[in-house]
Amino acid sequence: MIGFDYGTSNCAVGVMENNQPALIKLTDNSCYLPSTLYAPSREIIVNWLYQQLPSQEQQTFKELRLMPLQKGQSVARELALDGISTELSFGHGALAAYLAEPDEGYYIKSPKSFLGASGLMPQQINLFEDIVAAMMSNIKSLTEEKLNREVTQTVIGRPINFQGLKGEESNLQAISVLTNAAKRVGFRDVEFQYEPVAAGFEFESTLDKETKVLVVDIGGGTTDCSMLLMGPEFSLLNDRTDHLLGHSGVRIGGNDFDIQLALKGLMPEFGLDSLLKTNKPVPSYSYWQAMAINNINDQTEFYSQSNRRYLQQLQRDAKQPELIERLLLLQEQKLSYRMVNGAEQGKIALTESDLTPIDLTDISPELSVTVSRELMAKAAHQELATIANIMQQAIEQAQCQPDVVFVTGGTAKSPVINQFLTKQMPNTPVVIGDHFGSVTAGLTRWAARVFG
């Protein structure tokens, strides 16, 4: 049995060792594998997955995906004739493959962000299910290789709310995708636990008395808040429903901070906030679309031929056409992920420094942009205000004040975020947990409870 954090930014797996959760090294250097996938062509993902499935699953899967499998086989043959590998890449390898040739192949970061999206066609849902299954198959294989045994039971973390306009219907859609994918790749028993609740379980192991804990989990794609009644006398119970006093969640996370930093910090070098020859501002919508890597519709529209013609006309109308030329290059070479990744690296660097340069010389010679913590705070002011709001919602729902605030999630490493959260509750102790490992450890503890 394992605890499985299928995260928006990273994946991690934990097992119990000597009654304590231990994270497994998924690579030689890290317990965390970035939630990214690269394929030479989108059509071959289904074929790669088919080859990885347990033999008893292959026939059923073939019946479900007959036409995509046939198309994938045709594309795979064409790639082979061109001497191109039909293997998939994951984690850092996927990002490296994308950055080497951004306009080739198929790259996806944080597919979890799309699972609850409204208006998906059945074919799109099937594609996301196959992407998730491929990533889970890779994680499962790495885990079994490290443990030298088969893994068939898992507790998977989930946010309070997945992205989607239809509330619980969107949540059910996302859970269905995750469940189908997990069972397809060989997990026999699959349970789910709220990510902030799981993080709370890990914090609970440090408590020596009954405590009301407000857990704030700022992940890659969502921020979730749970007010929990915790303490050593509760930790061995299998049903903790009565101890979840209030919770709220929103689809705002580390990806959104990256996008906002890219927009406010980098996009001015591509023409945002510049002027047309008429002295009117250059329209900003294309810049939002370009950076909206977590919105399928915006990305599709930005990379359309009609939008290219629009941007070409925009360049002719601009006072500084050389800036719009960079935006055209971004569109032509499909550099959205490249730009947001640059902003993400800048955000990470700002954890240690007030200022940091972001190198963009691969896009334009001598182009480098310096960003600051102050700029990041201004860029993310709306996201921060929303996080403050859901913290208050969880407290109001619980009808009591927390004794302590426990903060976890990779984005929470940022001093900008830490300072903001501390200001929200100046009279309550704020404990900063293991930014990446708390959720996985808590999921692992819960797996031991429900499967033990």
Q: Could you report the per-residue pLDDT of 348-405, keeping only the tens digit for each?
A: 999 999 999 999 998 999 999 999 999 999 999 999 999 999 999 999 999 999 999 9
Comparing CA positions, the residue from 174, 169, 170, 134 lying closest to residue 158 is 174
Alpha helix locations (H) across 37-167? 45-52, 55-64, 66-81, 92-100, 122-147
- Widest distance between CA atoms in the chain: 71
Position 126 pLDDT exceeds 70: yes
List of residues 6+ apart from 161 with CB closer than 8 A: 116, 167, 170, 171, 222, 224, 249, 250, 251
The rounded percent of the chain whose pLDDT value lies above 90 is: 67
What average pLDDT does the chain have? 91
- Map out the domains of the chain as residue ranges: 2-195, 209-253+381-434, 255-379
* 2-195: CATH architecture: 2-Layer Sandwich (3.30)
How many angstroms separate the CA atoms of 221 and 159, rounded? 9
- The reply to whether 209-253+381-434 shares the fold of 2-195 is yes
| Region 265-276 average pLDDT | 96
pLDDT of amino acid 268: 97
The rounded percent of the chain whose pLDDT value lies above 70 is: 99
What is the pTM assigned to this prediction? Answer: 0.84
Instruction: Label residues 49-88 b or e (16+ Cβ within 10 Å = b).
Output: bbebbeeebeeebeeebeebbebbbebbeebeeeeeebeb
Comparing CA positions, the residue from 97, 311, 61, 276 lying closest to residue 186 is 61
Q: What is the pLDDT of residues 132-187, one digit of tens each?
A: 999 999 999 999 999 999 999 999 999 888 865 557 888 899 999 999 999 999 99
Position 254 pLDDT exceeds 90: no
How many angstroms separate the CA atoms of 147 and 444, rounded? 15
- The enclosing H or E element of 250 equals strand 244-250
- Fold for 209-253+381-434, please state it: Nucleotidyltransferase; domain 5 (3.30.420)
Position 202 pLDDT exceeds 70: yes
Q: What is the pLDDT of residues 284-335, one digit of tens each?
A: 999 999 999 888 789 989 999 999 999 999 999 999 999 999 999 999 999 9
Comparing CA positions, the residue from 308, 304, 305 lying closest to residue 328 is 308
Match 């049903």 to its residue by tokens: 239
- The enclosing H or E element of 319 equals none
How many angstroms separate the CA atoms of 336 and 342, rounded? 10
- The enclosing H or E element of 372 equals strand 368-372
How many angstroms separate the CA atoms of 41 and 39, rounded? 5
Read off the tokens for 33: 């594998």
Helix, strand, or coil here: 154? strand
Amino acid in the structure at residue 47: N
Position 410 pLDDT exceeds 80: no
| Contact present, 91 and 134 (Cβ < 8 Å) | no
pLDDT of amino acid 163: 65
Please tell me the least confidently modeled range out of 52-56, 164-168, 266-270, 400-404.
Answer: 164-168
pLDDT of amino acid 326: 96
Position 427 pLDDT exceeds 60: yes
pLDDT of amino acid 113: 83
Alpha helix locations (H) across 166-304? 168-184, 195-204, 254-261, 285-291, 296-302
Q: What is the phi/psi pair of residue 43, to 5°?
A: -65, -20
| Contact present, 202 and 438 (Cβ < 8 Å) | yes
Residue with the larger pLDDT of the pair 370 and 56:
370
pLDDT of amino acid 197: 87
